[in-house]
C-alpha cells in the first residue's frame, strides 16, 4: 500500500513523508525547509501497510489525518515566523506548560533558581489572578501583571531574593520572545527595586568562626566540616569547593589555582589564585598518588542540613548558608585592613562593583560597634 505519492504532500516548505520500517509498516515524518536549512521531525505516527479490515483502514485514515493536521500547523508556524508574526497555534499554548518545558531542558547551574522563580510565579497567579492559575496564554502576560508580580516578590522575599527570582523569570520571558512565543516583552520597563550592593545575608564574626570551629559532635560529617572551614578562610563558592582536586594545589609554592564554575568561559578573570597558609594546607591534606576531589561531600542539600545543625550546636542564632561563608571571609578580611582590590582578586570578581557591598557591610559593623557603647551626658 502506498500511503503517500513519491514526492510527498507539499505545501510551501513542510512536506509529509514516509519511511519504511523493517516490519513492513511506515513511519511518518516532516521534511522541513527554512532559511536554506533542511531539518526532519519524526511524528511517532505509523501506518499499517498491510491493513485489510475496515477497522485497520479506518485507523490508517485517522493517523494520516492527524499527520496532515500537524503538518498544517507547522506550516502555519513557519509562515507567521517568516513575517515576524505570532502563529495562532502559538497564541493558544499554555505559558505554564511552556515554562515547565523550558525548565526540563535547562542545564545551567542556576536551575534551582529557575525552578524557584516558576513556583513563585504560580503562587502569584493563585493569589492575584486565580483565573489563570492553571492556564495562561502568552498574550495574557501584561506589563501591569508584571508590575504586580514584582511587588509580590518584594513583599515575599528579603534582600536580593526578589531580584534573583525576577531575573530568572525575565530569562524565560526573553527566551519566549526570541522564539516568537511572545510578541512583546511584558517585563520591559518593569524594575525590581532592590539594592544589589547591600549585603543582606548573615555573616559570622571572627569570634563566631572560632566558636563554630571549636564545636564538635560525634555524628558530625568531617568532610563537610573541613570544606566549610576552608570556605570561611578562602571565600570559595560551594560550586567550586565540590570540584577542587589535589592537582589544583601547587604544594611547593603554597597556591591553590582553579577556574570558577560561575564565570568559566565568560570572563578573563575566571581563574583564581589563592595563597595557602599552613592551616589551609592541613585542611587539604597530603597529595595522594591518584588525583581525586579534595572534599568528598554529599549533596548540596545534605551539606546545608549538616551546616545548619552545626551552627545550631554552636549556639549561633543566625541563618548561615554556605554562601554566608564566602561573605564572612570577605567582610572579616576587609575589617582587618585588607585592600578592596585584593579582596576582589581573592573572590574572583572581575571588577569592584560586587566587592563594594562588603565595604558597606564593614562600615555598618563599625557603626554598630560605636552605637554599642553606653550613652553619656556632658
Residues 6+ apart with CB under 8 A from 140: 95, 132
- The β-bridge partners of 37 are 34
Q: Calculate the alpha carbon distances from 317 to 202, 320, 364 in Å.
A: 10, 9, 19
Q: Does residue 106 share a domain with residue 75?
A: no
Shared-domain flag, residues 170 and 230: no
Which CATH number is 303's domain given?
1.10.443.10
Cell 549556639 belongs to which residue?
315
Q: How many CB atoms lie within 10 A of CB 259?
A: 14
Measured CA distances, 297 to 107, 228, 239, 268, 289 (Å): 22, 11, 11, 29, 20
Whether residue 271 sits in one domain with residue 132: no
Whether 188 is in a domain gets the answer: no
Work out the average pLDDT over 297-325.
Answer: 92
Query: Strand locations in the chain, DSSP E?
Result: 9-11, 14-20, 26-34, 37-47, 249-250, 255-259, 271-275
pLDDT value at residue 196: 53
Find out whether 257 and 235 touch, Cβ atoms under 8 Å.
Answer: no
SS (H, E, C) 141-198: CCHHHHHHHHHHHHHHCCCCHHHHHHHHHHHHHHHHHHCCCCCCCCCCCCCCCCCCCC
Select from 19, 54, 85 the last residue of a domain: 85
What's the chain's average pLDDT?
Answer: 85
- Residue 10 confidence class, pLDDT cut points 50, 70, 90: very low
Flag whether 154 is in a domain: yes
pLDDT for 194 equals 64
Picking from 248-252, 305-309, 313-317, 327-331, which range would have the lowest pLDDT averaged per residue? 327-331
- My answer on whether 334 and 246 are in the same domain is yes
Which pLDDT tens digit goes with each residue over 22-31?
888 999 998 8
* Co-location of 246 and 307 in the same domain: yes
> Could you give the CA distance from residue 135 to residue 2 in angstroms, rounded to a whole number?
42
Residues 173 and 213 placed together within one structural domain of the fold: no
Residue 43 and residue 115 in one domain: no
Q: State the pLDDT confidence band at 83, using cuts at 50, 70 and 90.
A: low
Mean pLDDT of 44-61: 91
Residue 73 grid cell: 500547523
Q: Which domain holds residue 319?
A: 206-371
Q: Is the pLDDT of residue 250 over 80?
A: yes
- pLDDT beyond 60 at 7: no
> Number of folded domains in the chain?
3
| Total-model pTM | 0.55
36-40, 92-96, 132-136, 297-301: segment of lowest average pLDDT: 36-40
* pLDDT at residue 109, as a whole number: 77
The answer on 366 and 222 residing in a single domain is: yes
* pLDDT score, position 270: 82
Instruction: Please say if the pLDDT value at position 255 is more than 70.
Output: yes
Tell me what the mean pLDDT of segment 240-260 comes to. Answer: 94
Q: Are strands 37-47 and 249-250 parallel, antiparallel or unpaired?
A: unpaired
pLDDT for res 1 = 47
Amino acid at each position: 500500500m502506498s500511503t503517500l505519492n513519491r514526492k510527498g504532500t507539499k505545501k510551501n516548505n513542510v512536506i509529509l513523508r514516509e519511511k519504511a520500517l523493517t516490519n513492513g509498516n511506515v513511519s511518518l515524518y516532516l521534511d522541513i525547509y527554512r532559511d536554506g536549512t533542511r531539518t526532519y521531525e519524526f511524528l511517532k505516527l505509523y501506518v499499517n501497510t498491510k491493513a485489510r479490515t475496515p477497522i485497520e483502514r479506518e485507523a490508517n485514515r485517522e493517523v494520516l489525518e492527524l499527520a496532515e493536521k500537524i503538518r498544517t500547523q507547522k506550516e502555519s508556524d513557519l509562515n507567521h515566523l517568516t513575517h515576524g508574526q505570532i502563529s495562532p497555534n502559538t497564541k493558544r499554548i499554555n505559558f505554564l506548560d511552556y515554562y515547565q518545558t523550558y525548565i526540563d531542558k535547562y542545564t545551567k547551574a542556576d536551575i534551582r533558581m529557575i525552578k524557584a522563580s516558576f513556583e513563585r510565579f504560580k503562587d502569584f497567579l493563585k493569589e492575584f489572578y486565580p483565573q489563570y492559575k492553571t492556564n495562561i496564554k502568552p498574550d495574557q502576560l501584561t506589563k501591569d501583571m508584571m508590575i504586580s508580580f514584582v511587588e509580590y516578590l518584594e513583599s515575599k522575599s528579603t534582600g536580593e531574593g526578589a531580584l534573583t527570582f525576577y531575573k530568572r523569570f525575565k530569562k524565560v520571558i526573553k527566551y519566549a520572545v526570541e522564539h516568537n512565543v511572545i510578541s512583546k516583552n511584558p517585563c520591559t520597563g518593569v524594575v525590581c527595586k532592590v539594592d544589589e550592593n547591600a549585603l543582606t545575608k548573615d555573616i559570622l564574626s571572627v569570634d563566631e568562626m572560632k566558636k563554630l570551629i571549636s564545636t564538635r559532635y560525634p555524628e558530625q560529617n568531617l568532610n563537610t566540616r573541613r570544606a566549610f572551614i576552608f570556605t570561611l578562610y578562602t571565600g570559595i563558592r560551594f560550586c567550586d569547593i565540590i570540584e577542587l582536586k589535589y592537582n589544583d594545589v601547587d604544594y611547593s609554592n603554597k597556591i591553590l589555582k582553579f577556574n570558577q564554575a560561575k564565570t568559566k568561559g565568560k570572563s578573563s578573570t575566571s581563574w583564581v589564585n589563592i595563597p595557602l597558609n599552613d592551616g589551609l594546607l592541613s585542611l587539604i591534606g597530603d597529595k595522594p598518588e591518584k588525583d581525586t576531589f579534595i572534599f568528598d561531600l554529599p549533596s548540596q542539600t545534605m551539606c546545608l542540613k549538616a551546616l545548619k545543625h552545626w551552627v545550631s550546636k554552636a549556639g549561633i542564632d543566625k541563618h548561615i548558608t554556605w554562601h554566608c561563608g564566602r561573605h564572612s571571609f570577605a567582610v572579616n578580611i576587609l575589617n582587618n585592613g585588607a585592600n578592596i582590590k585584593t579582596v576582589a582578586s581573592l573572590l574572583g570578581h572581575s571588577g569592584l562593583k560586587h566587592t563594594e557591598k562588603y565595604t558597606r557591610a564593614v562600615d555598618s559593623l563599625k557603626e554598630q560597634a560605636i552605637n554599642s557603647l553606653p550613652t553619656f551626658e556632658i
